[in-house]
């Protein structure tokens, strides 16, 4: 699936799919339609998987949602400006000072 970088509204990068979604819900259709029945069927069919998944869900270590991530790309090799003796952060809106948070918009390409 092709992904693209966008500004998430907070001045941070986000990856979105062609529909503009940064997250995807992979919840099984059967679970959405009948949550209690789905868990009951899982418990009857595979008690070990039921116990493992239930514990992870209850502890907050499992979700049917995932955030889109892009494939690794070549790092930026151009010059990085400095501010307050620290290299600046490349935000969607421009170079940002890591110390003060000041934003310096990117210069237009010549």
Domain that holds residue 81: 76-110
Tell me whether residue 44 is in a domain: no
Quick one: what percent of the chain has pLDDT higher than 90? 28
pLDDT in tens, 48-87: 999 998 998 888 777 777 776 766 667 777 889 999 999 9
Q: Is 15 exposed, middle or buried (0-12, 13-18, 19+ CB in 10 A)?
A: middle
In a domain, 51, yes or no: no
Could you tell me if residue 85 is inside a domain?
Answer: yes
- Whether residue 40 is contained in a domain is answered as no
Select from 59, 48, 50 the least CA-distant residue to 31.
50
In a domain, 110, yes or no: yes
Whether residue 29 is contained in a domain is answered as no
Angle formed at CA 16 by CA 109 and CA 27, multiple of 5 degrees: 175
Q: What is the mean pLDDT of the chain?
A: 81
When divided into structural domains, the chain yields a total of 1
């Amino acid at each position: 699936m092709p992904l693209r970088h966008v500004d998430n509204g907070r001045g941070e990068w986000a990856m979105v799919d062609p529909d503009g979604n940064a997250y995807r819900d992979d919840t099984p259709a059967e679970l959405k339609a009948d949550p209690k029945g789905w868990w009951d069927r899982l418990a009857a069919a595979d008690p070990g998987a039921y116990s493992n998944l239930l514990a992870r869900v209850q502890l907050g270590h499992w979700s049917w949602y995932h955030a889109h991530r892009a494939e690794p790309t070549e790092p930026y090799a151009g010059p990085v400006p400095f501010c307050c003796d620290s290299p600046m952060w490349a935000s969607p809106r421009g170079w940002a000072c890591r110390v003060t948070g000041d934003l310096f918009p990117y210069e237009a390409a010549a």
